[in-house]
Amino acid sequence: MKRLGWMVMVTVAVIGCAGPRKTEVRPLHAPDGTTAAVSQQLERGNQLLLKEDWAGAREAYLATIGSDQSLAEAHYNLALALEKLGEKAEARKHYVAAANLAPGNKVIWDAPPLRKYDGELTLEKKSWMDAHPK
């Protein structure tokens, strides 16, 4: 009987742990040298993203990109929000923009959301480790 109790507990634990996992969203922060206003816009989007306000985050990131189109982190974070909103095609564009704007950013290049589109993307480089195109 004791053995049966342990088997039931183990089975329940395994089944409970095997359920769907919530994927953690980790937005990127502005790099050093980014203006204070742009950094604040990006951080506002990050706060909304962490609160799972996907639409609010999208708007904040779009405003950030409007202020600085070359900020790879804003494109990447926008892509995360778009993914959550189900806007896969638009997310893909911003993952590509982020990767092309940040050839040395290992987080962007190695991110699972970007890698899942690997065969479908047109990147200027194949990997963050490749030599920068001339």
Q: Where do the structural domains in the chain lie, given as residue ranges?
A: 34-134
What pTM did the predictor assign? 0.73
From the list 91, 90, 114, 112, the residue with the least C-alpha distance to 102 is: 114
88 burial level (CB within 10 Å; 0-12, 13-18, 19+): exposed
Cα–Cα distance between 104 and 115 in angstroms, integer? 16
List pLDDT tens digits, range 12-47.
Answer: 454 445 544 555 778 999 999 999 999 999 999 999
Residues in the chain: 134
CATH number of 34-134: 3.30.390.10, 1.25.40.10, 3.90.180.10, 3.30.1490.20? Answer: 1.25.40.10
Q: Which two tokens stand for residue 12?
A: 């329940």
List pLDDT tens digits, range 88-107.
Answer: 999 989 998 999 999 888 88
